[in-house]
Chains A and B, each alone.
Chain A
Amino acid sequence: MSAARFPHLLRAELRLILRERLTWAILAALVAALCLAASTGAGRVAAERGALAQAAADGARVVHEARAAHERYGRPAPIKVNYWQDPTDAFGYMTYFMAAHAVKPPTPLAVLAAGQSDVQPAVMRVGFGYSTVFDDTAYEPGSAAKLRLGPFDLAFVLVYLVPLAVIALAGTRLSSEQDRGILRLIASQPIGPRRVAGAKFGAVALVAVAGVLGGTALALLVSGGLGSLDGWNGTLALLVMALAAYVAVWVAACTVVASFWRGAVAALAILVLAWVCVTVALPTALALAVDALSPVPSRIAAIDASRRAQAHFYTGAEGSRITAAWLAGTVPEAARRPDLVEAPEIKRLARDAFYDTALAGYRDAARAHALAGAAWGRRLAVLSPATILGLALETAAGTDAGRHAAFLSAGAAYRRDLSAFFEPRILAQALEPRPVCDGCPARLDFDAYDAVPSFAPSLPRAAAERQTLMALGSLMAGALLLAAVAHRRLAEWPA
């Protein structure tokens, strides 16, 4: 009698699994969850695109209205126009009209994970109107209950529910046979536990991988949430492999637990507790570790510093002194014009520069924390299969903390670009005010609305590919490690 051929055995196990009604119930529930998650994701991506379009339309509207006002006030009229109403005044336009936005467009795979998108905005209006202490003041308030519960997105289904589906499919293989007494008959055949376990768990892995990948593909097709994949095919392929590896990790974990030969009750309890540890407890512990490695700088201390700077500027003649010093440093020839020190726009520029200097340390610390937190998050995510896959999905979706930290820095740089664009024009208008015409309400002659720098958004394809590759490597290593443990433990049948 020959030893059982593995493919033959695998086919028999596949037949066994596919005969079970529970298998189909689990797969159906999983596909339904994936479809629902993909549709909520598609809705979110559509809303994000809508926000981007709204921001662009807002910017275009402002330019259009500024042009119209420029034309209107460029003709003689009896009305008085203040600087905050006058787009011909570069300072007035910069402060009260301009609608410049830093934007974080969704990636083609944005449907996969809501990530940080529900707490970190994808559109930031960059303004100079009112004092802000940090780059990330803007956010969109919404339902806190919704944020607490978290979104029902594909990442949730794939990272949290897929392992539970795998546990439901594979968690009691061998152990339920042991409980029912079937194992004794299996073990008495001329076959070792490794081959039987290999066939049983291999078959579950095939069914689970096919169910998860097929279900996800179906859900993406039905929801229509996938963007144009131009250049992102590699990332998608890596993600598919990472997902398969994630399923393999959980199947391998089920195999390890089966090798304890403790019966189905213990196997189920161990696996569900392992799920809690890997998907909930360990990430929470990692969050604490990130917190310890990159402590959050105090927002309140920064606010206090900003207020100290403000109080300092507005106490006695400090404001005038600071403005004079700034002016002398910026435009040496303005020293001949002491009246400029009290000009509101000059005072504002000087004040903002003073605030920037006073707060530079705090802002740098906040940016450094955002970047360091994201970096530590990336490093520590490797420690849990759930976090590493979650991070890969978020990075591919462009909703990860790392991209947002970079976005905040880019937004701050954009603010500096805008400042660098307007400052010389404001100074020039202050030094040599040139009205559009005599007797017309327009105070000055600024009209470079189209020349205002626009934000250059980026799509982090390389980062997504890197992170997904990292996830794939870690998950494959994890699956192999667990499989090796199971292989080692399954040398003999239990007596």
Chain B
Amino acid sequence: MRRIAAELALTARDARLRWIGSVLVLLLLVTGLGAWRDAARYAGEVGQVTAAERARWLGQDAKNPHSADHFGLWVFRASAPLAVLDPGTEPYTGRMVRVEAHVFNEAVYRAVQDAGPLARSGLGSVAEIVQLVVPLAAILLGFSAFAADRKRGTLRLALGNGVPPGRLFASRFTALFIALLAVVGAPLLGIGGLAVVSQEGAGWQAVPRLFAWVAAQLAYATAFLLLAMLVSLVARTARGALAAALAAWVVLCVAAPRLASAGVDAFAPALAYRDVRARIDAGFRAHRTAEANDVRAREVLARYGVSDADELPVDLRGLMMSENESHNFAVYDRELGAFFDSLAAQERAFAWAGLLSPRVALQSLSQTLAGTDFAQHAHFVWAVESYRRGISERMNAEIRDHPQRGGAVLVAGPDLWREIPPFVLQPLPFARALADARVPALVLALWLGLLAALCIPGIRRLRP
């Protein structure tokens, strides 16, 4: 303990720590508070417009239920509370969906479309700062752990006076880890705490998510601290240690993530949305022709054993719309289901691509724990689609079950509108996030284990 305290005192006196710590804390706080302000503004807007949409739905005039189905509404995806820390996939996926008859609309208006090209430069969020800058900070703090001592000759003095290398390494590592806790862990917990306390987080289990998220970031930072200390153990000069650690940073944090992206695209390609949409259109086209419609109408009359639509116990138009929608739902389920499955498979491939770089593993792990991963987006999209189908089915059933004779048009009113509940999205539970996080967490743990294991022979062979 005394040794750790001594190392800590040395670390605290180092001007580097003060500079790096100040810059890092400032960057994290400015970015985090900016994101928190934006999240509060978005949540306020979403709350207002969601209430207005509900009022508009309920306040519709009496009309044919199918018109109401077309009138529809917009639903909005609320941000996860921890999106302030890691927006994850949220800026890259639409968060607003037009719910209307017949169409499985895309979730539209992605923040990235409005943000412009410069916003994708890499420090737009707290998570990106952690992924790119924190490793650099860990390297700048750790590269000289042994290399500088070696150059000064103090390592010779320490080892020559019987200090065991393992204990020397452990105390230095602990001191630097505590420094990282102070300059990385504390600000992250602070910003996250603010986000959790100030935002509506029902169903998110935000507090355990926050702790798990911060732990993941610290594990990542620790991996780079170990890397820096490893090169410091091995390199003969501080210059060599820094050059090697920086080269590793460039490879792992700058180049490898994009290489992983190209690799995943090559080895686990997702379906092209354009092709999916073309297949959906083709699936609808044949079904939509007048001839196909005519055949189906005759088939319905035959099913009920009548020759005239007015003799049916149900409304022919309502029944056919209902059956058409069932056909469309099946096409959507098949094609978009396959599309979303291919995207989910690609996300899983990205988690394994973390073997190329801990940054890729952390990105995957971090967004999963923050609740801003692709699974949450897909959950939202399909929940909206299920809600849309619920409305269509209810409206079509209303028409089907109230046959109108002689071309009369059914008119429904607020009682029917009220039967449609407001859209409420229950996020995927934290347990599911933990299950999804297994692979990236394992990969990150492998990185930590590998670097720690590589340090052991370095410690054993430590020479002044």
Contacts and interface: CB of A to CB of B under 8 A. Distances in A.
Direct contact of A and B (CB under 8 A): yes
Interface of A: 33, 36, 40, 47, 51, 54, 58, 69, 73, 79-82, 84-86, 115-116, 119-120, 123, 130-131, 134, 136-137, 139-152, 156, 160-161, 164, 168, 172, 176, 179, 263-265, 268-269, 272-273, 276, 279-281, 283-284, 286-288, 290-291, 296, 298-301, 303-304, 307, 310-311, 314-316, 369, 373-374, 377, 380-381, 387, 390-391, 394, 400-401, 441
B330 to A, nearest CB: 21
Residue of A136, A144, A298 with most partner-chain B CB within 10 A: A144
Contacts of B323: none
A287 B260 CA distance: 26
B361 to A, nearest CB: 12
Given A300-B49, A314-B71, A268 B239 contact: yes
Contact of A79 (B124, B250, B288, B294): B294
Interface string B266-290: 0000101110001000000000111
Residue of A86, A283, A369 with most partner-chain B CB within 10 A: A283
A303 B92 contact: no
Interface in B32-63: 34, 42, 45-46, 48-49, 52-53, 56, 59-61, 63
A395 to B, nearest CB: 11
Contact of A283 (B56, B67, B118): B118
Contacts of B112: 119, 147
Contact of B46 (A288, A300, A316): A300
Given A58-B278, A168-B247, A152 B262 contact: yes
Given A141-B94, A291-B115, 15 more contacts: A123-B274, A144-B89, A146-B346, A147-B112, A148-B88, A148-B89, A156-B258, A164-B250, A168-B247, A284-B119, A286-B118, A287-B116, A300-B49, A394-B117, A401-B117
Contacts of B290: 73, 79-82, 85-86, 441
Given A148-B92, A172-B243, A142 B343 contact: yes
A334 B53 CA distance: 36
B329 interface: no
B161 interface: no
Contact of A280 (B48, B121, B247): B121
Given A164-B250, A280-B121, A298-B45, A85 B288 contact: yes
Interface string B98-132: 10100101111110111111111111100000001
B248 interface: no
Contacts of A179: 237, 239
Given A300-B46, A401-B117, A268 B74 contact: no
Nearest to A72: B291
B259 interface: yes
A139 B94 CA distance: 10
B96 interface: yes
Contacts of A140: 272-274
B11 interface: no
Given A85-B290, A152-B258, A143 B343 contact: yes
Contacts of A151: 258, 261-262
B93 interface: yes
B222 interface: no
Contacts of B136: 272-273, 276
Nearest to B295: A79
A179 B238 CA distance: 11
Contacts of A381: 118
B328 interface: no
Contacts of A84: 288
B416 to A, nearest CB: 15
A269 B119 contact: no
B364 interface: yes
A310 B294 CA distance: 33
Residue of A85, A179, A310 with most partner-chain B CB within 10 A: A85
Given A286-B118, A311-B56, A139 B274 contact: no
Contacts of A264: 239, 242-243
A391 B116 CA distance: 12
15 contacts: A79-B291, A140-B274, A143-B264, A143-B265, A143-B347, A144-B89, A149-B360, A150-B261, A168-B247, A179-B239, A296-B114, A304-B49, A311-B59, A374-B116, A381-B118
A283 B128 CA distance: 14
B265 A281 contact: no
B314 interface: no
Contacts of B259: 36, 152
A413 to B, nearest CB: 20
B228 to A, nearest CB: 12
B181 interface: no
A144 B254 contact: no
Contacts of B60: 311, 314
B121 A373 contact: no
B363 interface: yes
Given A307-B56, A377-B118, A139 B108 contact: yes
A269 B238 CA distance: 11
A268 B242 contact: yes
Interface of B: 34, 42, 45-46, 48-49, 52-53, 56, 59-61, 63, 67, 71, 73-74, 76, 88-89, 92-94, 96, 98, 100, 103, 105-110, 112-124, 132-133, 136, 140, 144, 237-239, 242-243, 246-247, 249-250, 254-255, 257-262, 264-265, 270, 272-274, 278, 288-291, 293-294, 343, 346-347, 350, 360, 363-364, 374, 377
B374 A268 contact: no
Nearest to A130: B103
Contacts of B42: 300
Nearest to B127: A148
A287 B360 contact: no
Contacts of A269: 140, 242
Contacts of B288: 84-85
A262 to B, nearest CB: 12
B113 A119 contact: yes
Contacts of A280: 121-123, 132
Nearest to B102: A130
Nearest to B27: A281
Contacts of B374: 143-145
Nearest to B114: A296
Given A265-B239, A441-B290, A161 B96 contact: no
Contacts of B115: 287, 291, 296
Contacts of B254: 160-161, 164
A85 B273 contact: no
A44 B259 CA distance: 15
B106 to A, nearest CB: 6
Contacts of B109: 134, 137, 299
B305 to A, nearest CB: 21
Contact of B74 (A58, A303, A401): A303
B92 A147 contact: yes
Residue of B34, B121, B242, B363 with most partner-chain A CB within 10 A: B121
Contacts of B360: 149
A264 B147 CA distance: 14
Nearest to A97: B285
A36 B262 contact: yes
A300 B76 contact: yes
B145 to A, nearest CB: 13
B66 to A, nearest CB: 13
Nearest to A120: B113
B52 A307 contact: yes
Given A140-B273, A300-B49, A149 B363 contact: yes
Contacts of B100: 130
Given A116-B117, A152-B259, A80 B294 contact: yes
7 shortest interchain CB distances as A-B pairs: A144-B89, A283-B121, A287-B118, A144-B92, A152-B258, A287-B119, A81-B290
Contact of B117 (A36, A156, A377): A377
Residue of A80, A115, A281 with most partner-chain B CB within 10 A: A281
Contact of B118 (A120, A145, A290, A304): A290
